[in-house]
Amino acid sequence: MSKYLIVGLGNPGEEYRNSRHNIGFDVVDAFVWKHQGAFRVDRLAEVAEIRWKGRTFICIKPSTYMNQSGKAFRYWQEKEKIVLANTLTIVDDLALPLSKLRLRMSGSHGGHNGLFDIQTVLGTDKYPRLRFGIGHHFPTGMQVDFVLGKWFPEERPIVAEKIEKSVEVIEDVAFIGIERTMNLINSMEFGNKKV
């Protein structure tokens, strides 16, 4: 049975719930909910195990805060004996417009604290990630407030559409492979292209 580690990045705590920075948590929540799973509090993370069509998905939401995401990633990857190629990290991305999702097999952390910590702990940037574009519509000096802030009302329909599609990406990576899934998803535009 093939096994996958699905890592949603975010910060624990009510004040961060449904913020742009916590979209990784929201996508993993949606995947687990779709497959009638439930999270339990475990070491370094909330964890849910989904078995579906001969695949096992270990889904984690690190409880370590974003800048120490690597500890939870490595612990659960090693505990469950999952190869790096069978991991998928879901993360917010300022450099991408809200209209885009981007699936990659490797790459730079792009200044993202969660990806930076995972790369540091693993000693490589060669791990798959799904980057969820959040745009960069904020005044100079307000980046932190924007990233940690809630979605604007006009953004929510696109966010909901992209969360649903991100759940499909998790499934597709496991069943048709990351390269075919990249070809399907990376050219897609969501909602109003001007957002």
User: Alpha-carbon distance 25 to 177, whole Å?
Assistant: 23
Q: What residue has token string 């719930």?
A: 17
Is residue 21 among the annotated active site residues?
A: yes
User: Alpha-carbon distance 26 to 109, whole Å?
Assistant: 20
User: Alpha-carbon distance 141 to 133, whole Å?
Assistant: 20
Token reading at 2 = 């093939």
Catalytic residue among 21, 35, 109, 136: 21
Three-state DSSP at 120 gives: helix
Token reading at 69 = 């995401």
SS3 content of the chain, % helix, strand, coil (to 5): 40, 25, 35
Handedness of CA 159, 163, 165, 169 (dihedral sign): positive
**What is the separation, in whole angstroms, between the first and last Cα of the chain?**
41
Residue 126 burial (CB count, 10 A): 12
**Burial of 128 (C-beta count, 10 Å sphere; 0-12/13-18/19+):** buried
Residues marked as catalytic: 21
